[in-house]
Structure 1
Amino acid sequence: MSYLSEGKLADFIEEKIKELIGKGNILIVVPPFYDIRSLALGPYVLQAVAKQKGYKVDVLHLDLLLAAIIGVKDYQQVHDSPDFWMLGERVFARIAYDLPALGKASESAEDPFWAISDTPNAVLSVAPEESIPQEKLLKIEEVCYQLMRHAARVIGQFQYEVIGVSLGFCNQINATVAFINQVKQHLPQCTTIIGGSYCEGEKAKGLFSLSKHIDYVFEGESEGTFVQFLSDVFEKTPPTEKLIKATEAVALEKMPLADYTAYEKQVRVMLGDTFYEKNIFAVWYETNRGCWWAEKAKCSFCGIAEIGFRQKSIEQIRTDLKEIRRQVPGKLVFFTDLIMSQEFPKKMLEYRDDMDEIPVMGMQMRVARNIEEVANLREIKAKFILPGVESFSTKLLKKLKKGTTGKQNIYFLRNTRSFGIFTQYFLLWGLPDDEHQDYQQLLDLIPLIIHLQPPRTFVGMRIGRDSPYFDQPAKHNIENLRYWEVYKDIFPSYTDWESIANYYIGDYKNYAHYNLPLIQELDRAVTHWKNTWQNAKLHMEVLGGQCVIYDFRQVPGIGTAIHPITYAQAQEIMLYKIYKPSPTLDWALKNKLGILMDGWFVPLVTAAPELLVKFDQEAKSNTSQNSISHYQSYKIT
């Protein structure tokens, strides 16, 4: 590992920054360690909003610049490290507060019993993590130190009147403070501001305790308050209150579209054309705000503060999507929405004639309950889905207030696999009042669903600020709620830790943390699932006038199997329904082609989308179509 010498580093930083900024009198910075594989949408929306009122805002990605210096691999290794290591905060602790390099007790950063709390509940993962040697981290820390010094010096040459930082996540706080402290040395007269999704509630107030150079913090939605703030500052009547709160909900319909080509230029200049083409496969777009499900029953672990739900019209969304496709052709458009509105797919389908002009989409959503809903997703080109799965235990899902069940989650994954829709979800362990059966059920289930998309990760539950676990701990049998100990290692002694902290731990009864061997066995099973699912197969094909099920899952006791069946048998096996004993269903259960859960038969066999739709429609109309000759052999891709 070799980085640029200080002299060459200073020249490199100056060259890149001067190529990208200097046209406006307002600057918004994206600090490390934001995920360089995705767009930070907020600064570009503010840029567009300000432009409507005649203000010129420059955006600068210090996250991309750091990645260009230390390399994408090293940057991502820090970014992807476990949250409680707080490496993104540690490498900026010295430049931000004159703390020791890597903060205090850096040698214990990877120990959850030190960094979180000395309690069994502190274990959040049983998967082996790749350590980053202290020597390497110290070299990265030195680069971070010099980056802030030289970036502030170069920016100081442009005489910006307002300089803001977009603070979206943990692991960006110390970089934010370090940058503001440094830039004030070169531009003491400039007004410094912080905004972003981390600036909610008490956390927004807590930021002021970190530096006297933070002039203002924007709490919550800031598109409206930002423009008014600029007007006040440039008219020499700045606000007297340092915490700028949203006065009213922003009208999304009137929100201008971000300049995606400006983001593209930043990536190409900092990391090159190849990185942009191969690593930036999606950009962000916002269709709604709030969470309509949280207005009914907020998920127990959800720490998102915003609840009130509103959305753009379908006409506006279609217009925006077409423009995004024109600006950045070939890129997936992923919605920033906390949850997709239930009626969105059907409303989009009212304009199905121009779907060719719409880019491929990705979105967060509740688990779809039936074939029709999944079919609609495919038809509107929603090919990447983040569903709220979290567990296959109906009991735990009820405790989490997910509004779904174990059987619905499995049925949904069967359907998305059949329709070629990519899903990304998590499975949680270590929940209050969990039991052995919750995990044994999953261990028994994995070999049967190994052909379906696996979770992104199997991870211990964390308590986040603003979640029901945080706001109502007694209701969930949680005692002694306290912030993670690591905050004392990465922030100075004068910090308002109670306000700034985002992650907490409490004492509560649970099975998983006291029976880690079973959780470790499950983690190995999930890892095997992730490594093999794309080659596993449990699929029905139509060959001539017969249905054939190919089972290549290698389920213990079954191995490889090929089952020729009649159309009537296929109809019965492929439907999700209340279980009533029958020779066909009992045969399917014996051969692990479906499972019983909560009194329902849940089919596990995938098939061509058209065939699943046909079975579903026939079941609804109680008709049986014996002719299937027009179906061709269908392969999963």
Structure 2
Amino acid sequence: MGNDLSDSSPLKHQATRCLLVVPPFCDVFMPSLAAHLVHDVLTRSEINTKILYANLIAADLIGFKVYHTLAASHQWLVCERLISLALHKRSHPKVPSATNASVALLIENIKDVFRDAGVDQDAFSVEDILTALDLLEAKFLKEVEVWRPDIIAFTSTFQTITAVELLANAVKSRTPSPPHIIVGGANADGEMALGLRSFMISVDHIFSGELDDQLSQYCRDKSAWSRGITRSKGIYPPYEAYIDYDAFFEQCREYNHPHMDTIWLPLETSRGCWFGEKSHCTFCGLNGSGMKYRAKEGVSAVDEYRHYREKYAPKGFFMVDNIIPKNFFEEFLKPIAALEGVSKADIFYEVKANLSVEEIRLMRDAGASAFQPGIEALSTPLLKHMKKGTSAFVNLRTLFWAKQSGIKCVWNLLARFPNDKENWYQDTLQLLPYIRHFQPPQQSVSKVSIDRFSPHFDRSSDFGIRNIKPAPLYEQIFADVDLNRLAYHFTADFETEFNEDICGLLDLEIAAWRAAWKRRPPTIEAFILDNGGAIVVDTRNTINAADLVVDEFGAVPRLARSDCNESTEEWLISRGLAMRVEGRLVNLIERVHSSGMAHELPFLMQA
């Protein structure tokens, strides 16, 4: 299979031994695609390479439940702040002094993380976590002593910057003749590599950008080892080779992973974003410097699915793509849905919201229990403002079809955009009671930050954005560091009509919505009676006073026959069973039961 990034030049140092390290707080329910890809490339270059999951060691010491709750949170940079405290204990010169106020705020933020995750807020203590990190260092140093690598390579994504420095510093300060240390990953993309250089005093070399043959060449030639930065020579298609994940599963067993049956595997079928190439969402910085779209062939992805499914039997496949390839409904999902005699794994993809009902059901039939359609808002003017390439009608239709089809939508409401209008959020607030039976957002309203690599950041003047500064929490993590280059999240000044009043009202509505779904997902279903009328079961508890709506008028049977007239429409709208969206009449009843048969109703009642 495909592209070979290994180095086939004559060996200069056959004895080179490389230890690849996955640091805390990386996910412990999925192996690191980056680490195993690098392992495959270096092994093909005849470099003796081993992967060490330091995150699994940390989870075993901290407790998997506490660890996972922290690792799954992207709020308040709690993981970076925790390890910054550990570095402060070691008098590291690049972290600030811990104050009573900063520690108290960290504890409060962690409790909020635990509360939002439904975990006991007293299930952790900062002191216990710091003690566990001390033990992690000792275990890590023992692994280094036993393996005796010439080079240690860390992968760094999301909240792992301080963890890499913690472990690297332990090696450099407490190991005789310490090995050469390098780091790469998303946290080293673009000028962030210079930011890392200003902080990671214990790391020798940084690799920035996508993996290419320079890494294997560097590892093989010890005379080239230096304190510097190597930039990728370009961008590359997805790696096409079967990746060996044995080390992850072996170490899961070694470090007492309590939920081996819930492990997912990462699968990459494309890189970049085909939509972002033509219309970059204003707030999105996820693609970094690799926006150009590159995809595998569908048949190749199906082969990988079958290989990993048979070898590892994962609970599911997490597609790391930023967006599903447009042809993959037909070339990837359809063949998987058609597999016979095979227990299908779950599949999770990020997609655009403008799906057909057939595409949504194809994801479900291929094994997907959820998908992320990038809904972000339920106001067409706001969606146009953020260049999402969708509309309120399309987003609502996706939510309706997902509910009908029994597949979960993962989405959130974003707010506080430069030059937005309050009425966009007011319109959303008025809409929410009608769709209480649709899948709710994952959390309360998310105020948009200014993220590196996004148009808001790269072309800030186009949006009237000024005074861009690294998010204040970085100052609780780093000291004497070039935060303008290291940070990913920023604050800024700009004009906005979003305010705390409308935020509070939206949050209250979302909280009630989520609570209703936690008890039992609301529904709207109709039962046609022999007398030509109907009974509508409406458990939203937002529009109608009772759960049962009696239709003596015969509006629902007419709706089921696609025979609505003006009086029918008025009756349905007055009872919140239909509404007008962008001038189109849409139905909110999921299905109708007649003569012992259930029939799903269309979303659009008229063009």
Structure 1: gaps of 5 or more residues: 1-22, 116-123, 574-579, 621-637
Q: 1:90 aligns with which of 77, 84, 94?
A: 84
Aligned runs of 1:354-503 on 2, under 5 Å?
354=339, 357=342, 359-458=345-444, 459-493=446-480, 495-503=481-489
Deviation at 1:294, TM superposition (A): 0.8
In structure 1, how many angstroms separate the alpha carbons of the residues matched to 2:372 and 2:294? 20
For 1:346, the equivalent position in structure 2 comes to 330
For 2:295, the equivalent position in structure 1 comes to 311
For 1:174, the equivalent position in structure 2 comes to 162
Q: Structure 1 residues 506 and 618, CA, compared in 2 at 3 Å: closer, same or farther? A: closer
Deviation at 1:611, TM superposition (A): 7.5
For 2:278, the equivalent position in structure 1 comes to 296
- Paired positions, count: 571
In structure 2, how many angstroms separate the alpha carbons of the residues matched to 1:101 and 1:217? 20
SS of 1:271 mapped into structure 2: coil
For 1:249, the equivalent position in structure 2 comes to 235
In structure 2, how many angstroms separate the alpha carbons of the residues matched to 1:242 and 1:571? 71
In structure 1, how many angstroms separate the alpha carbons of the residues matched to 2:449 and 2:580? 31
Q: Structure 1 residues 393 and 457, CA, compared in 2 at 3 Å: closer, same or farther? A: same
Deviation at 1:63, TM superposition (A): 1.6
Native 8 Å contact 1:46 1:223 kept in 2: no
Tell me the TM-score normalized by structure 1: 0.81
Q: 1:590 aligns with which of 571, 574, 582?
A: 574
The aligned amino acid for 1:412 is T
In structure 2, how many angstroms separate the alpha carbons of the residues matched to 1:523 and 1:321? 40
In structure 2, how many angstroms separate the alpha carbons of the residues matched to 1:392 and 1:81? 24
The aligned amino acid for 1:36 is V
Q: Structure 1 residues 39 and 542, CA, compared in 2 at 3 Å: closer, same or farther? A: farther
Deviation at 1:230, TM superposition (A): 2.6
For 2:264, the equivalent position in structure 1 comes to 282
Native 8 Å contact 1:257 1:320 kept in 2: yes
SS of 1:299 mapped into structure 2: coil
Larger deviation, residues 428-437 vs 319-328: 428-437
The aligned amino acid for 1:484 is A
In structure 2, how many angstroms separate the alpha carbons of the residues matched to 1:617 and 1:560? 24
For 2:3, the equivalent position in structure 1 comes to none
Deviation readout 1:301-357 (Å, 9 max, x if unpaired): 111212011111111101000011112225111100011112210223663543654
Q: Structure 1 residues 369 and 353, CA, compared in 2 at 3 Å: closer, same or farther? A: closer
In structure 2, how many angstroms separate the alpha carbons of the residues matched to 1:362 and 1:33? 22
Q: 1:505 aligns with which of 466, 475, 491?
A: 491
Deviation at 1:432, TM superposition (A): 1.9
For 1:527, the equivalent position in structure 2 comes to 511
Deviation readout 1:555-586 (Å, 9 max, x if unpaired): 2444312457565522549xxxxxx9733322
The aligned amino acid for 1:570 is A
In structure 1, how many angstroms separate the alpha carbons of the residues matched to 2:579 and 2:263? 37
Tell me the TM-score normalized by structure 2: 0.84
Q: Structure 1 residues 132 and 200, CA, compared in 2 at 3 Å: closer, same or farther? A: farther
Native 8 Å contact 2:88 2:98 kept in 1: no
1:337 aligns with 2:325: no
Native 8 Å contact 1:355 1:380 kept in 2: no
The aligned amino acid for 1:156 is E
Deviation readout 1:393-448 (Å, 9 max, x if unpaired): 11111111111111211110010111111121111122222333222223222221
Native 8 Å contact 1:571 1:615 kept in 2: no
In structure 2, how many angstroms separate the alpha carbons of the residues matched to 1:103 and 1:603? 58
For 2:57, the equivalent position in structure 1 comes to 65
Q: Structure 1 residues 618 and 444, CA, compared in 2 at 3 Å: closer, same or farther? A: closer
Deviation at 1:103, TM superposition (A): 4.4
Deviation at 1:81, TM superposition (A): 6.9
**CA RMSD for the aligned pairs?**
3.6
Native 8 Å contact 2:211 2:232 kept in 1: yes
Q: Structure 1 residues 611 and 83, CA, compared in 2 at 3 Å: closer, same or farther? A: same
SS of 1:257 mapped into structure 2: coil
1:209 aligns with 2:198: yes
In structure 1, how many angstroms separate the alpha carbons of the residues matched to 2:461 and 2:285? 17
The aligned amino acid for 1:178 is L
Q: Could you tell me the percent identity over the aligned residues?
A: 23
Native 8 Å contact 1:411 1:604 kept in 2: no
Deviation at 1:73, TM superposition (A): 3.3
The aligned amino acid for 2:560 is A
SS of 1:425 mapped into structure 2: coil
The aligned amino acid for 1:336 is V
Deviation at 1:44, TM superposition (A): 1.3
Deviation readout 1:212-247 (Å, 9 max, x if unpaired): 43222111211533333333x3xx342668222222
In structure 2, how many angstroms separate the alpha carbons of the residues matched to 1:378 and 1:130? 29
Deviation readout 1:249-289 (Å, 9 max, x if unpaired): 3343x5322223332222222133x3222xx3422111110
Native 8 Å contact 2:66 2:123 kept in 1: no
Deviation at 1:145, TM superposition (A): 3.5
Aligned runs of 1:154-165 on 2, under 5 Å?
154-165=143-154
